[in-house]
Amino acid sequence: MKEEVVQKARQLDAEDSLASFRSQFYFPQKNGKDCIYLCGNSLGLQPKTTSRYLDEELKKWKEHGVEGHFTGDKPWVSYHKNSKAPLAKIVGAHEHEVVAMNNLTTNLHLAMASFYQPKGKRTKILIERGAFPSDFYAVHSRIQVSGLDPKEHLIELNPADGSDYLSTEEILKKINLLGDELALVMFPGVQYYTGQFFNIQKITAAAHQTGAYAGFDLAHAVGNIPMKLHEHEVDFAVWCTYKYLNSGPGGVGGLYIHEKHGANKAMPRLSGWWGHDSDSRFKMANQINPIPTVDGWQLSNVNILSYAAHLASLQLFDEAGIGNLRAKSLKLTNLMEELILNSAVLSGQIKILTPSTPEERGAQLSLYLTNHGKSVFEYLIEQGVILDWREPNVIRVAPVPLYNTFEDVVNFVSILEDAIAHEG
């Protein structure tokens, strides 16, 4: 890599107001030094404060046993409330519209039990072709348990030109075409394979115009791109927290329900006792009175240890600010794209599947190897670059603004050039 490019990256790092956050994470080691970790879209790094948050709850359990539910600054009985303020800022919602609970797919099933109620002509669910498998399985099974045939009622939208890019115009056109047959539009915020960020506002508005609900899987969007779920009147959204939110493998999931639905106690739902009015919950009267917020969708008490890890990361997000993180993310991703496109070695060997428009992508670039296979990925791993592989021939790369640097980006592209050259 040219020296002036390296110096430019170092200058950007020196000017980075978020640079100090890097030192608050643990990095995997390879060949005696920190790896270049570009896999936050799959599993975020561990914050150094995570063990302290966990130790606090382990100590409470050790010293107080069951009384830990009602003692300390963060009693377990109301532990879920501690994440509401930072989560609300990240997804653009009111605090009473967000809750961390369960995992993503469980929350998706719970949401669809409320928001997919096929009746008359209105029976269809619209998703994108090539949806993440857990989303596909969830909507497919939801249609089945409703007594309908997914082959008829699950609509998978494919780009008309056969490319990997699904334009907003195509999506809106399909929504309008389905009209009063459409019950639910279920899209990702960011498509896991291509890294495309969908226009949540326009998709939601189009769905509502036809009388359908709009829900989103934000697994690859939360903690990556600022959103305005409440302002855009999204009906529901679900997410995991182990990717950009750095909350540990299999960490607690998240749910957003717009306040107008939360306040509707008559809305059908799969109920659990933790969603019952908290003031009378322990009277054990078995009288269903759901909390008139997203909390009314809760099933059970919180997994405290998973939640503690979640809070450790959310504290860092609160300090950094999602807007500041997005500004740096744009610079990181733009630099990576520029270096790849201007590389004599890479420009003819790699197709970037992710949209080139910054507004249509987050931290991820999906790199399609046009003339090479997985051996390039394996070379990168051997050289201490951690990222992930998706068939066929795609390397997903995610420079995460909380802990990646501009020099990380330059070094990655340099090693990628070496990997291609090594292949011959």
CATH class of 53-318: alpha beta
Contact 157, 191 (CB under 8 A): no
Distance between first and last Cα of the chain: 19
Distance CA 247, CA 311 (A): 8
> Is the pLDDT score of 335 beyond 90?
yes
> Exposure string (b/e) for 25-53, b if CB count within 10 Å is 16 or more?
bebeeeeeeebbbbbbbbbbbbbebbeeb
Q: Is 148 exposed, middle or buried (0-12, 13-18, 19+ CB in 10 A)?
A: middle
CATH code of the domain made up of 3-34+322-423: 3.90.1150.10
- Please count the CA atoms within 13 angstroms of the CA of 42 that sit on its side-chain side: 15
Average pLDDT over residues 88-113: 98
Tally the C-alpha atoms within 13 A of residue 421's C-alpha that lie toward its C-beta.
Answer: 9
Q: Pick the closest to residue 102 from 314, 308, 297 (CA basis).
A: 297
What pLDDT is recorded for position 163? 87
Q: Which pLDDT score, from 0 to 100, does residue 312 have?
A: 98
- Specify the 3-state DSSP secondary structure of 398: strand
Q: Where are the domains of the chain?
A: 3-34+322-423, 53-318
Number of Cβ atoms within 10 Å of the Cβ of 311: 22
What is the predicted pLDDT for the residue at 424? 65
Contact criterion met (CB below 8 Å) for 372 and 393: yes
DSSP per-residue codes, 12-27: HHHT-TTGGGGGGB--
Q: Are 185 and 122 in contact (CB under 8 A)?
A: no
Six-digit token pair at 400?
């995460």
Which amino acid would we find at residue 81? K
Residue 415 has pLDDT above 90, yes or no: yes
What's the whole-number mean pLDDT along residues 331-346?
96
Say whether pLDDT at 8 is over 70. Answer: yes
- Which residue in 238, 174, 240, 239 sits closest to 212, CA to CA? 174
Helix axis angle for 200-210 and 168-178, nearest 10°, is 10
pLDDT tens readout for residues 261-276: 999 999 999 999 999 9
Band of pLDDT at residue 282, cut at 50, 70 and 90: confident
Strands 124-128, 182-188: parallel, antiparallel or unpaired by DSSP?
parallel
The pLDDT of residue 95: 98
pLDDT reported for residue 139: 98
Model confidence pTM above 0.85: yes
Check residue 1 and give its pLDDT. 67
pLDDT digits (tens, 9 = 90+) for 26-81: 999 998 999 999 999 999 999 999 999 999 999 999 999 999 999 999 999 999 99
Distance CA 77, CA 83 (A): 14
Q: What is the pLDDT of residues 170-211, one digit of tens each?
A: 999 999 999 999 999 999 999 999 999 999 999 999 999 999
